[in-house]
Structure 1
Amino acid sequence: MRTAQRLVHCLLAPLLLLCLPGTVHAAAPTPRDTVADVARSIQDHYYDVECAAEIAAGLRKAAAAGEFDRYTDPRDLVTALTERIKSHDGHFRVNWLPPEQRAAEPRGRPGPNVAQPVDYARRRNYGVHRVEILPGNLGYLDLKEFADFRFGEPRTPARVALESALQLLASTDALIIDLRDNGGGSPVSVGYLVSAFTPKGADIYSSFRWRDGDALGSTSEAPVDWYPNPRLDVPLYLLTSPRTASAAEALVYTLKNVGRAVVIGETSAGAANPGAEIDAGNGFSVFVATGSPTSPITHRNWEGSGIAPDVAVPQREALRTAQALALDSLLKKGLSGGDAIDARWALDAVRAESASVPALAHAEYTGQYDRMRIEEVAGRLYLRNGKRPQQPLAALERDLFYLVDDPSVRVRFERNGDGRVAALETLRPDGSANRYRR
């Protein structure tokens, strides 16, 4: 029986089906032949039967009128077809790969022009692109896709990668999940990740209506295996862009609707429906949405409209905005002692990135300070501590700087009676300091 877990939300470049050439060389298909095959694939598989028939009829009518005849190169034809049909559903995408590139030579040895299989999921670390602790003890998880895995198999690489990322961020005070370059993936990963931040068994997960739903019944995005130790109180921020699509949108939609996350960036793509790659023959395939989700909270989905952010900023500014909001919120909730100073200093550094600082005479600061040395490289000041690598400095104000890579360390320059810089002092949130004379 087909389940939601085995189908995939996807705007990523989909895997194409194998198409072995026959022993008899048939005439190359015309654009009209290909359009007919694509139309049939859509009519037979698209989740909305009436809409499927309308889309297919429109394609056949356009083909009969000769609208696709000029696309004799398959690469041009798939582009034209995709552009025509994606307005009906954001998941529609027609693909082509030369059939001969899908077959191995006799004796099983691939030739130089034969496409080699690539385990993209493994090579892309199952979507876990970057895990980092940002200044102020903020967790940052950059997810490029939602890799598929089977529940009941806890050691599958995709599940291990996701759990390992969350474990590395388990002690952070707030968490930012970056979905700005995430085009989708598996509902399995979505449901499991949602369960890492919400109560077990919560009725918040979308259910799916399939083309033949009467026979199969509705299936849910709720996980079969629940994340064992959900972080119910950690502040959560989701970064979005027009590239954020499908499964990535599913995560945003669920967590936003229950008030569990703050969404920052730009409105998402608006591609809600999961589906599968359908072989249309002769090297052509088409990704067709075979189901549609419905939220138990909104009783609809985000198809066509996308998901508007809570805080609208250009996507390039989303991370810095999330850092500032997270740090400010943590400070207002009552961090104390050195933790509060560390968060405040991190917030000052984030704000300084977009603030205008008066031009400084770098020559005033360069030179040797005991074992410390201040150097200027390409118009920027660097601190070199003995044999350690150079560390870039950024100014907060005249004579006060921070380490760009670690804002929990500040550098304050001291001047003597005639106004010349005579020493530098390194400061830390716990109150410790070291002074170095020039």
Structure 2
Amino acid sequence: MKSFLMYVFLFLIVFKVDVFGQKKINEKFKKETISRIDLLLQENYVFPDQAELIISHLNKSLKEGKFKKHELLDSFAIALTKEIRVVNNDKHLGVWTAFTPVKEQGNLNNDYQSYLKKYADIRKQANGFKEVKIIDGNIGYLNINFFIAETNKTIDAYIHLLANTDAVIIDLQNNGGGNPKTVNYLCSYFLESNLLINTLYFRQGNRKDEVITHEVNGKKMIDVPLFIITSSKSFSGAEEFSYNMQSQKRATLVGEVTGGAANPGDVFKINSDLEIYIPTGTGTNPITKTNWEGTGVIPEIKTSGESAYSKAVELASQAAEVYRNKKASESKKIYNELQEIIDKQAQSYSDSDITKIDQQILQIFTKGNDLNLFSEGDINFFGSQNIKNNPIIAESILKCNTVLYPRSPMTYLAYGDMLELNGKKNLALTNFEKSIALAEEQKAPYLEGLKMRYEKAKGSK
């Protein structure tokens, strides 16, 4: 099955029919086209009863001569789309002219220019992302035009840039939809994993597919205040993302009511000149028990398209300040827990004491890491602060860093340094070797320095 939210076509279906020529057509062509549409709807439309009503209306319109004045292909396609939607206003249902560019035989230069134009157009799409930035007040802003397939790495990179912001705005004002897997991947950054967010029913095979959030290749932003800007042009996949976040009470929507197209489907060929997009499935949200078909997604904060951005920034600024204060309070509480352990200094520690300290410190920093309070560098700082007064505590903290950041060569270097200082030379060498192995794998620029450090430790053994 084709990707059922085709980002390019769906935008065109809502706002205009793509035009590639002004071909003249006759009444025979119109009759055969409607006959073919009838068959395609009967076989594929997710709502068979609605298909019958649409078919009846199309045949009635043909009989009444509503298509007589449309003598050009593109005009006929627009008229067909209008009449098809009369019955239930399914905005995914639409007819457009097939893309059949004329190739000039023998003109290789023209072919190459066409290739260059297509290549440039694809690059301009920037994988569907228009803009990413950090606004004053530490607010992340991400503007997405389309949810293009196989762009998870782009999402990872952009979310990584916003990972330490105190609020996030996702602008979907001009987003025409896209690939459902991409929508789910972005949803998964802002929701817990293994969460059911939609159930899709497909007429063919009487099939149900559950849409469930999953792990991502980056740090999730589960509790960061999230704002989504919508407009009447936000369509299909953009609406799905907005609806999912809204129903999970994960985001505040700002702007206009969205387009109202919820039913996924496929493109079908009517003939060599025309194609039709037919919804083959429908979705049911586990919380609302319905979807946004026909109604659109209704924002909590309704405002005009012109005012939506400034309103979202205003709300995000307020939420960011609250979020910062909350994080500062959580950070202080965890720091106090760590300080209690540090204050319980002893002249000597038994093996059982050290094991207990290791567990307590790992628990503290795991909690802080999960709350996005402490980074690798922060933990390393805490360790270095205790090297002089409490080397056993310092060792435990730096060991914790290797557990939380097992892919970082520098955590093993710092831990190895501490082990050597505490007289555990063999274990120190083991960690230096681990540091070197990771640095080689990652082609780290400081690899030679790590090797020199290892040789120095080895020589002093």
Same fold (TM over 0.5): yes
TM-score of the superposed pair, with normalisation by structure 1: 0.65
Distance in 2, Cα, partners of 1:147 & 1:159: 9
* 1:221 partnered with 2:218: no
Contact persistence 1:194–1:251 (CA under 8 A): yes
SS in 2 for 1:221: strand
**TM-aligned CA distance change 1:295 to 1:130, over 3 Å:** same
* 1:118 partnered with 2:118: yes
Deviation at 1:243, TM superposition (A): 0.7
Matches within 5 A, 1:36-435: 36-87=35-86, 88=88, 89-97=90-98, 99=100, 101=101, 104=103, 118=118, 122-149=123-150, 158-203=151-196, 205-214=197-206, 217-223=207-213, 226-333=216-323, 335=325
Distance in 2, Cα, partners of 1:240 & 1:317: 11
- Let me know the Cα RMSD of the aligned residues: 3.1
Percent sequence identity is 28
Q: Which residue is equivalent to 1:351?
A: none
Distance in 1, Cα, partners of 2:192 & 2:122: 29
- Of Structure 1 and Structure 2, the greater helix share is in 2
**TM-aligned CA distance change 1:161 to 1:226, over 3 Å:** closer
Contact persistence 2:191–2:213 (CA under 8 A): no
**TM-aligned CA distance change 1:295 to 1:323, over 3 Å:** same
Contact persistence 1:266–1:315 (CA under 8 A): yes
Contact persistence 2:172–2:229 (CA under 8 A): yes
More relative contact order in 1 or in 2 (CA 8 Å, sep 6+)?
1
Deviation at 1:121, TM superposition (A): 5.1
Distance in 2, Cα, partners of 1:270 & 1:42: 20
Deviation at 1:85, TM superposition (A): 1.9
Deviation at 1:290, TM superposition (A): 1.1
Distance in 2, Cα, partners of 1:39 & 1:322: 45
SS in 1 for 2:200: strand
Q: Which runs of 5+ in 2 are unaligned?
A: 19-24, 327-461
SS in 1 for 2:229: strand
Distance in 1, Cα, partners of 2:318 & 2:97: 50
Contact persistence 1:192–1:222 (CA under 8 A): no
SS in 2 for 1:165: helix
Deviation at 1:315, TM superposition (A): 1.7
Distance in 2, Cα, partners of 1:96 & 1:171: 46
How many residues end up aligned between the 2 structures? 313
Q: Which runs of 5+ in 1 are unaligned?
A: 18-25, 150-157, 337-438
Deviation at 1:50, TM superposition (A): 1.9
State which structure, 1 or 2, has the greater radius of gyration over its C-alpha atoms: 2
* 1:12 partnered with 2:11: yes
Contact persistence 2:225–2:323 (CA under 8 A): no
- Of Structure 1 and Structure 2, the greater strand share is in 1
Q: Which residue is equivalent to 1:401?
A: none
Contact persistence 2:138–2:320 (CA under 8 A): no
Distance in 2, Cα, partners of 1:105 & 1:29: 30
SS in 1 for 2:68: coil
Distance in 2, Cα, partners of 1:232 & 1:182: 23
Contact persistence 1:279–1:285 (CA under 8 A): yes
Distance in 2, Cα, partners of 1:272 & 1:192: 18
